[in-house]
Amino acid sequence: MNFVVKCLIIASFFLFSNQSFSQKNKIDSLKNQLLLIKSDSSKVKLWSSLGSFYADAKQIDSSVYFSQLAIDFYKRNKNLKAVSYEKLILGYRYKNIYKFPEAKRHFIESLNFATQIKNENYKISAYEGLGWLSHEMGNHLESIDYFREALTIAKYLKDEERIVEINTYVANNYIAMGKYEDAQEQYLKAANYYKKKKNLKSYASHLSTYGNLFRKINESHNAEKPLLAAYKIQKQINDKWSLIDGTRFLGMLYTETKDFKKAAMFFEESQNLAKELNDNSSMLKLYYTLERFYYIKNDIKNGDKYQKLILKMRDSLYTTEKNKQLSEFDIKYKTAEKEAKLKAAQLENAQKRNWIIGLSLALLGILVSGGLLWRISSIKRKATENEKLKNIEIENQKKLLSAKEIERQRIAKELHDSVGSQLTVVSTSLDNAFYLFENQKLLPEKLENISGEVRLAAQSLRDTIWATYNSEISVADLRSRIQEFVKKFSDENSFNVEIYIKGEEVVLTPIQGLNLFRIVQEALNNTQKYASASLVKINADFSEKNYFLEITDNGKGFDLEQNKVTESYGLNNMKTRAEEIEAKLEIKSSLGGGTAIIFEKV
C-alpha cells in the first residue's frame, strides 16, 4: 500500500469518528478518495465502507453495487472468508427492506462459503440469518431448525454467551407459537446469565421480555416488578432500542389492570422512541396494542383509527406476493442444484457416447439400408402420435375452460354468501340505528356491533381476493394465511393455538384453499364463543391426492344428540364447504371431552 493510500485511510478514520459529520459528506469523501486510488487491492476497503454507508442512508441499490464490487474482488483473490462475511451483511440488508428471496439467497451463499473454509463462527451467523428470516415469514418450525443448527455449532465451540442468546432466538418462536412458559424459562436463564456477567443492557432487555410473558400465562400480578426494574436500568443507560419494547410492555400491563393513565404515558414514550429510531416493525406492534387499549376504554373512534393504521402498515410490510416470491426462489434454487448434477451426468455420458460413436461408424455402411426403412416408419409413427397429442391438448383446453367457469361461479357464490350477507346485516343495522338515533335510544354498543360487522365484511372480501388473485394456492400459502388469522387471537382470547402442517409444497385450487381457510376460521370462532378451551391444535397432512385436517380443543364439548349438526348454521356451513370440494367433514364431541373437527379428502 503506497503512502497516499495510507494517508487517506488515516484521514478517513479521524474524519468519520466525528459524529457531527453527515452521512452524505462521508459518502462524498469516500467517493473522492476512490478517484485518487488506482489498484483494486487499495479500493476494496473503501467499497465495503461505501456499501455500509449507503445502507445506513437507505440507498440499497448503491449499497449493493459497492458491496458486490468488494465481493467480486475477494472471489478473484480467493478470499472466501471475506466473501462469506460480505454475503452475510447483504442478506441482512435485504431482510431489513423485506426482500426475502434475495436475503435467503445471500444467507445460503454465505453459509456455503463458510462451510468450504470450515469457519464455524460464520456458519453460526449464516444459520442465525436464515432463522430470523424464517421467523419474520411466520415459518416458526423452520426458524427453530435453523437456530438449532447454529446452537449445535456453538455448543461444539463451547461459546457460552452465544448458546444463551441463540436459545432466546428459539424462545421468540415459542412466543409466536403460544408456548409462553417454555419461552419464559429461556429468557429467565438469559437474564440471570447477563446479570452475572454485569452486562446491564442485555440483562434489562431479557428481564423485560421475561416480565411481559407473565401476562401471557395469566399471571399479570407478577409482571410489574421485573418490567419496572428493567425499565429503570434501560433509562439509566439510555438504551432506546430496548426501551421501545419495555415501555410498550408496561403500557400493555397497565391496560389489563385498567390503569389507563399510566398505560397512555408508557405508550406515548414507546411511540416517540419508535418514530425517533424510524422502527416500522415496532410501530406496527404498538398500533396493535393501542387498538386494544382504546377498545378496552370503549373509545371506538380511536380504536378504529388504529385498526386502519394496522391494515395499511401490515399490507405494505407483509404481502402474499413476498411469500410467493420466496417460494419461487426456493424452487429456482433447488432446480439449479438438480441442473448442476444433470450437467455433470451429461458430461460423463457424452464421454462414453464418443466411444460408442467410434465403434458405430464401422457398422454404419451395413445399417444404411435398414436405417432408411426404419426412418420412414418412424416418421409415420411420429405423425400419428402428434395427431393424438394435438387431440388430447384440444380436449384439455376444453376441460380447462370448463373448470375456469366453475371456479368463477364458485367465487361469485362466495362473495354473495359472505360479503353480501354481512353487508346486508350492516345495512339493516344502520336502518335500525337511525331509528334509535331519532328516538334518542342509540347506545354505543349498537355502533360497535355495526363496526364489527363492517370489519368482518372487509376481512371476508380480502380473503376472497386472496383466493381469486392466485391461480393456485400452495399449502405453505394457506399456512401463512392461517397464522395471520391466529395472531388476531393471541391478545383477545384465553386459549393458545398450536399448528402442525405437513406437505407445504402441495398445490391447491383457489376454491380448495379458501374453503379450508374458512373451515379453520369457523372452528376457531366457535371455540372462542362456546368451548371455554385453553388449547386448540391444528394438525394437517397434505399429499397430491389426499388431504387431512383436524382441529381439536380441550374445551367443555357438547352433546351431539341434543345439538344436531344440521341445526347449527356454523357447523353445517363447514360441512357444506367440505362437500363443495368433494371432501368429508366429521364432528366429534362429548360433554367435558372437548371437540374435534375432522376434514378428509381421499
575 and 561 assigned to the same domain: yes
Rounded to whole angstroms, how far apart are CA atoms 569 and 559? 16
475 and 554 assigned to the same domain: yes
Averaged pLDDT of the chain: 78
Nearest Cα residue to 208 out of 181, 237, 232, 238 = 232
The last residue of one of the domains, among 469, 499, 530, is: 469
Residue 146 has pLDDT above 50, yes or no: yes
Residue 297 has pLDDT above 80, yes or no: yes
Question: DSSP assignment, residue 597?
Answer: E
Give the CATH number of the domain where residue 497 resides. Answer: 3.30.565.10
Output the pLDDT for position 14. Answer: 38
Q: Tens digits of per-residue pLDDT, 501-521?
A: 999 899 998 888 888 988 998
State the pLDDT confidence band at 247, using cuts at 50, 70 and 90. Answer: very high
459 and 502 assigned to the same domain: no
Domain assignment of residue 491, yes or no = yes
- Side-by-side strand order, sheet with 535-542: 496-502, 535-542, 547-553, 595-601, 584-589
More confident residue, 445 or 310: 310
Task: Write out the three cell numbers for 58.
Answer: 437507505
Domain assignment of residue 410, yes or no = yes
The last residue of one of the domains, among 436, 469, 502, is: 469
Domain assignment of residue 396, yes or no = yes
Q: Is the pTM of this model over 0.75?
A: no
465 and 561 assigned to the same domain: no
Contact between residue 519 and residue 482 where contact means Cβ atoms under 8 Å apart = no
Residue 38 has pLDDT above 80, yes or no: no
Range of the domain at 577: 471-601
Buried b (16+ CB within 10 A) or exposed e, 417-445: ebbeebbeebeebeeebeeeeeeeeeeee
420 and 481 assigned to the same domain: no
Output the pLDDT for position 229. Answer: 95
Cross-strand bridge partners of residue 600:
548, 584
Nearest Cα residue to 574 out of 557, 556, 551, 544 = 551
Rounded to whole angstroms, how far apart are CA atoms 327 and 505? 9
Domain assignment of residue 21, yes or no = no
More confident residue, 296 or 422: 296
Q: Tens digits of per-residue pLDDT, 544-562?
A: 889 999 999 999 988 877 7
410 and 482 assigned to the same domain: no
Strand pairing class (535-542; 507-508): unpaired
Output the pLDDT for position 473. Answer: 86
452 and 409 assigned to the same domain: yes
Number of structural domains the chain divides into: 2
More confident residue, 451 or 83: 83
Q: Is 98 exposed, middle or buried (0-12, 13-18, 19+ CB in 10 A)?
A: middle
Question: DSSP assignment, residue 296?
Answer: H
Domain assignment of residue 480, yes or no = yes
Q: Tens digits of per-residue pLDDT, 405-421?
A: 555 555 655 555 555 55
Residue 451 has pLDDT above 80, yes or no: no
**CB-based contacts of 226, cutoff 8 Å, min separation 6:** 207, 208, 210, 211, 214
State the pLDDT confidence band at 530, using cuts at 50, 70 and 90. Answer: confident
Domain assignment of residue 453, yes or no = yes
Contact between residue 580 and residue 560 where contact means Cβ atoms under 8 Å apart = no
592 and 501 assigned to the same domain: yes
How wide is the angle at C-alpha 453 spanned by C-alphas 432 and 565, nearest 5°? Answer: 105
pLDDT > 90 in the chain, percent: 36
Domain assignment of residue 499, yes or no = yes
The last residue of one of the domains, among 444, 469, 494, is: 469
Nearest Cα residue to 293 out of 326, 259, 269, 330 = 259
Mean pLDDT computed over 461-483: 75
Contact between residue 498 and residue 537 where contact means Cβ atoms under 8 Å apart = yes
Domain assignment of residue 407, yes or no = yes
Q: Tens digits of per-residue pLDDT, 318-361?
A: 444 444 444 454 444 444 444 444 554 555 555 556 556 656 56
462 and 526 assigned to the same domain: no
403 and 451 assigned to the same domain: yes
Q: Tens digits of per-residue pLDDT, 49-94?
A: 777 777 776 677 787 888 888 888 888 999 999 999 989 988 888 8
Tally Cβ neighbours within 10 Å of residue 256: 16
497 and 583 assigned to the same domain: yes
452 and 492 assigned to the same domain: no
Contact between residue 55 and residue 22 where contact means Cβ atoms under 8 Å apart = no
Mean pLDDT computed over 535-539: 92
Task: Write out the three cell numbers for 492.
Answer: 383477545
Residue type, 60: I
Residue 453 has pLDDT above 80, yes or no: no
Rounded to whole angstroms, how far apart are CA atoms 300 and 297? 8
92: Cα separation from own chain's centroid: 15
